[in-house]
Structures are given as C-alpha cells and as structure tokens.
Chain A
Amino acid sequence: MNILVIRTHRFGDILQLTPMLRGLKEGYPESAVYFMVGKDFVPLLEGNPDADAIIPIPEKKYRYLLKDKPERYSRIFNELYDIVLELRKIKFDLIINRQYEWGAIFAYLIGADKILGGSYSPEKGFYFSDQPSKELFDLIRNKRKDNRMNLADWACRISGVPSGGYRQAYFYVTQWAREEAGRLLGDNEAAEGRSLVGVQMGAAKSFRQWGVNNFIQIVNWLINEKQKRVVLIGSEDERELFTRIEQALDEAKDNLISLIGKTSLKTTGAVLEKCEMLITGDTGPMHMAAAVGTPVLALFFGTAYPWETGPYGPGHFILYSDLPCAPCFDPAPCKQGHHCKKEIKPDVVIKAFEAAEAFWNNEPVHWEPGSNRAKLFVTAQGEEGEQILIPVDDEENFPKRSAQRIWRERHMSHPAPEVLLKKGDEVIRLFLSGEADQGFLSFALYLDYWLETKDVIMAEHPGMAEGFSELLKECLGAMQNKDLVSLIDAIEYGFKPLLERSLILSRNIRISGGDSQGFSAQELPR
C-alpha cells in the first residue's frame, strides 16, 4: 500500500503529524509512507522510521520566484509537472492532505484511490471528502471553543488510525547534532550543578510574543532563585530580544546562553533534548521539545488554543489565558488591548513552573493562580489514546492522572551499515541527476550518519580508523571546493568499501564465531 502525506510548511504542524505517521505504520506495516514537505523542513522528518520517503518541495522558493522573478515561471511549471508525473508512477492508494487548498490541487493532480483531508476537483472546487475533515473545518471556523481534540489526534482520526495505543510525536536527533549542541552549550550544560532550562521568547508574529520584560523577570528568577542555567532558543530575527535581556541582567548573565540564530533544526532538537524543560509560547520548538521528550511549560494566549495545538504527549503544562474572547482569530485589531497576554503575569508563570517541577519530580503539586483567568493544565492521554488536558486545580481528576509521566526516550540507535550504503547511493544519484544543492546537503547528512556510526564500526574493526580519518579530511576539502566529482569518488571508492568490509567482517565473524581476515579475537563484536 502506498500512502502519501502532504504538509509542506509550519514547523509545529509537521511535527504534529508524526503521531499519525506512527499510527499508519502500525495499522499498515507493509505500507510505504511518503511525506511531501517543504524543503526547509526536511530535517524534521529525516531519520523518522515512519516516513519511508521524503519528497522535498521548495515551495517557499517557488513563492518568492513566482512573485519576484516571473521569468522563472516556465522552470517552476516544468519542475512541478515532472514531480506530478513521477508521483503518478507510484500509484498511491491513499493521499492524506493536510495542506488545504494547495495540497488538494496537488493530490488531485497526482491521483489516488482515496484522498482524505482537503480535496479538489475542477467541477466541485475545494471540498472535504471525509466526515472528520469536514467536522474539523466547521469546528475551527464556527465553534472553535468546542473543540477538545489536538490537531495531532484529528490527523489520526482523518487518516483512519485506530483509537487506543500510545501516541507520541517524534523527532530524530542525530549524534552529530548532539555533539554540536554540546559544543554550543560549552559541554557543561549542568555546570556547577545547575540544570539547563530552555526559553523560547519569540513566535512568528509579534502578538504571539509574551513580552521581553516578562521574560527578563523569568530568566532572572530561574538563574538567581532556582539556580538554573538558561539557554535562549530562537531564530535570527529574535536576536534583539536577547540583547535586551542581556542588558537587563547583571551577574546573572554568566548563566545565560544565547543560541538565537545559531542552531539548525537538528541542533535545536539536540539542545532541547539536553534541557530539563522548555518555557515557550505556542511555537515550533514547543512541538520539537515534546517530540524529543523534554517537558514543556507553554504559555497560550491570543490565537493559541491549547486543545488544538498544545504540546503533544503526557506531562506537559500549559498556562492558558481563558478569557471569554479567547481564542481569537485575528488579535491585531484587539479591542481588549490584548488583555489575554496581560493575564499571564510573570508571578503566575513562576507558580506554574513550581507546580510543573513538583509534578515532574513526583512531589505534591500545589497551584494557586493569582488570577482566575489564567488556567493551568497538564496534558495526559485519554483512554482512546487521544490527548486530554486536565486542569491542575481539578482535585478530583488530577491525582489519579499524575502517574502518567512524560515520555523521554533517547533515540540512541545507530544507522546500520546497510542504511549508510543506501544513503551514499542516494547522494550520488542526486549529484548525477543534476541536483547540486540537494546533493551537497545530503552529503553533509551522510557524513552526519557516518559520524554516528563510526564509533560502532571502528569499535568492531579498529583497523579501519585510519582510512576513515583520511577520507574525512579529503571530503572536507572537496566540500569546500564544491568538488562533487571527488565526493562521488569518496563515497564509491572510500566509504562504500569500508562499509562493505565491515558488513563482510561482521557476517564472517557471526558465521564462524571466530577470527576473520586478520582481526583478533579482542576485536570481535560482543
């Protein structure tokens, strides 16, 4: 069975589809799941075992070129035309479109036995072919406050993933990203016994920012009162927020690390994984923290609605400004002067943090909100496997749910040599088919996988270490010169023989149970 999922943009929305991917794989173990995603967001799915193939679409670049460089129209037309023809060859049984109108047209052009989510035909225009998608659309449009289901669960329902079972968001952190995160954090993230708390101050739009002065109070409190180290996470355009925080802190800034604008998606995941918790608004990093198993304290106000987009998985805390007008659709012309934001005061966040910390430490939770508008919820999993929000002040419900602790699994499995062989072939294919940029990016990822695997391979076969170092040096030079021919040679005649040798040796060792090709018994895998 061939399944295509379409969702090209919005960091958090893509990660919110990962529980559905897991459900599809469990429901249809023999299926091949393809995921069409914006090129910039490919790392969100790289390494996810539930996505068999990723189809990157440079949708953002297309948008820019179509607006600003109309002379490129033909080229974009032809690229999309080719993609449609290629995808038609796969013959999809099912397309799950979570990209509304754009995805609906794409799904229509590719064709499938069944299209779920937004659909399109020239006769009908845009429509929903399945009941859950229609319900979701009506609910969000007309009765948003009645919705009690997370978008991750809606996606499961739309795609027919059965109820029950354990649902979890997933983001694969590579070993290289972990090393990079360690380097950026100074490799002493728990320096002087201080654990690390992540803070994400920004959001894509200013009305979703809680306010830098509020964050200054929180960061000060975390460092001075709670003896934490704080790492700020965010994109380049949030750098100014850091400058303001840094100026406001005096001695405390020794325990403040800014990684604003310094991390890739993979490294952000690795940094979040190292954090004890993350304080954030409704942002992409919030979903990423949840997906790497780091507890979240999320601040929801304005358009953000915790039942819809709360951090997915049990044990996260959400402070929600539950005004009668919340959640709003467009807070820009707010007549209340964004009162929802003001309901969440720093002292309320501090109390929420204490409550969450107690919960995570299995201690009694105490919660007395300073304002009856700001409500604190903890996420949990319902009997059907769906996410539910439990009010922390609900004494009847809270204790019996508190046993549901947050999932925090370390994804320490290393790619097998067979996977590396496949990845190497894929890089060569990209270069030879003329995809230079994609080829160089994939080669960087290939090296990343190698760095993860090398310790395992070299531990089994230490004689290969020298050859590997030489190869690595050559590759770095070739990368600098953009010498793709030498990179192809390196994969084909350098890395590949190493892998094949490793595979042969491992097989021989397993078959004979003894020494093989000059390797001593001490070098045998245990």
Chain B
Amino acid sequence: MKLIKKNIKSLIRTNPILAERVKDCFSKADEWEMCPAENGQITAKHRLKNGLFRYIHSRINPEREAERWAAVDATEFKNIVILGFGLGYHVHALQRRNTFSQMIIVEADLELFQLALKSVDLAPILQDQRIHLSIGEKPSAFKGCLYNLFPDVTSYRLFLPSIDLNPEYYQSIRGILEDYIHVCRLKKDPLLSQGVMELLDATVKYG
C-alpha cells in the first residue's frame, strides 16, 4: 500500500475532517523538493525566493536529529503543544520517549502536511489518541482546542524549520499560548507570579 493511502486510512479513524481537507488540498510540489537523506529516510528542502534552498530535516540523519530535538528538554510534561510538524520525525521521537499525557501539534501548512503523509510512515502518530492535530487552522480554532483539551498549565516546543516558513502564523499561536500559560501560572503559584510581576515592574522602573 502506498504511504499516502496507509496514512490517510489512519487519519480517517482519528480525524476524518482533516483527512478530507488533506485529500482536497493542492500540493505545492514546486516549492518543495523531497530528497533522500544519507540514512535513507526522506527529507525535504524548501525553495527560497532567491532560488536557494532551506532544509526542513537533516540531510544526513533526520531520525538522529529528531532524537536530539526530543532530548533537549526532557522534562515530563502532562500537556504539551508542538509548534511545527514538518515531516513529523521530531514528533515521533517525542512519542517514543512517552513522557506526555496529551499533545497538540500545530502546523500552519496543510500542503506540507500532505507531503509528509506522502513521504513518511506517520501511522503511529496519526493513530495515537493522545495526539491532536491542528493543521492549517485559524489561530482562533487552535485557541478553542487548547482551552478545551488542556485545563492546566502547559508547555510548548518549537520546531524552528517549520516556524521559519510561516513566522506570523506561529507568532499568533505563541501569543495565545503565552497568555494561557500566564493565566494558569497566576493560579498555580501566585507567590512566584507576584514576584515575577514585581521584576517586570522593576525592569521598566530601574532599567
């Protein structure tokens, strides 16, 4: 079975609406070049306006890079949001570490997600009931998903190669997340929060 079929089949089970949207969307094949990394996995490079390229995953060993990404902040989070899906290697790496209860993945680019479905076996991610995908959705939709799923303070991780492609979109998402985390922290540790607020006042007053 082709990868896309296998992936879509998995996606239909957990998120049929997204599966339909992906099937309907046009591929931006001219902006992307899929290419094999040295270890045989697929990576992709994005064509810039100046004709040069920017890679989204390692051209040597995407999996190893992803493992390293997952290990950078190895704290156990109950709830985590990942900004940027790329081809999904880093999400898979985090999934293998199994240190979270719930995860929301935000990816601005539906077409890039479609390319990922065509190129990488994403079934383990797509079938995982703990993982929620917010792909190519408006920031307000993400906000609803966040408030609905995560009742408590959360953490988020950035996958920079994706973020660099749609910086304004992710800026909005980060704004929503930061406001939410701020509010949660005020409730969770009012003493420390009060101290940090005094520090902010002092930054302006004594700087």
Contacts and interface: CB of A to CB of B under 8 A. Distances in A.
B152 interface: no
Chain A, interface residues (CB within 8 Å), range: 35 or more
A434 B158 contact: yes
A345 B193 CA distance: 55
A122 B61 CA distance: 52
Contact of A78 (B57, B157, B185): B185
B196 A434 contact: no
Given A75-B174, A436-B164, A483-B53, A109 B196 contact: yes
A78 to B, nearest CB: 5
A484 B50 CA distance: 17
Interface in A481-495: 481-486, 488-489, 492-493
Interface string A371-392: 0000000000000000000000
Nearest to A477: B52
Given A77-B197, A109-B195, A434-B158, A486 B55 contact: yes
A488 B196 contact: no
Chain B, interface residues (CB within 8 Å), range: 35 or more
By secondary structure, the A interface counts as helix
Given A73-B200, A481-B54, A486-B59, A102 B182 contact: no
Contacts of B150: none
A77 B160 contact: no
Given A63-B204, A481-B52, A485-B57, A84 B68 contact: no
B204 A109 contact: no
B199 A485 contact: no
Contact of B200 (A80, A434, A492): A80
By secondary structure, the B interface counts as helix
Nearest to A75: B178
A78 B153 CA distance: 11
Given A73-B200, A74-B181, A492-B60, A81 B206 contact: no
Contact of A481 (B48, B69, B192): B48
Contacts of B54: 481-483, 485-486
B207 interface: yes
Contacts of A76: 200
B200 A485 contact: no
B73 interface: yes
B109 interface: no
B204 A66 contact: yes
A320 B204 CA distance: 34
Interface string A44-73: 000000000000000110110011000101
B25 interface: no
A344 interface: no
A429 interface: yes
A81 B193 contact: yes
Interface in B150-207: 157-161, 163-164, 174-175, 178-179, 181-182, 185, 192-193, 195-200, 202-207
> What 5 A-B pairs come out closest when comparing CB atoms?
A434-B158, A74-B182, A485-B55, A74-B178, A75-B178
Given A77-B196, A105-B202, A481-B48, 16 more contacts: A66-B204, A73-B200, A74-B175, A75-B175, A77-B178, A78-B182, A102-B199, A105-B195, A109-B192, A431-B160, A480-B52, A481-B50, A482-B54, A485-B55, A485-B57, A489-B65
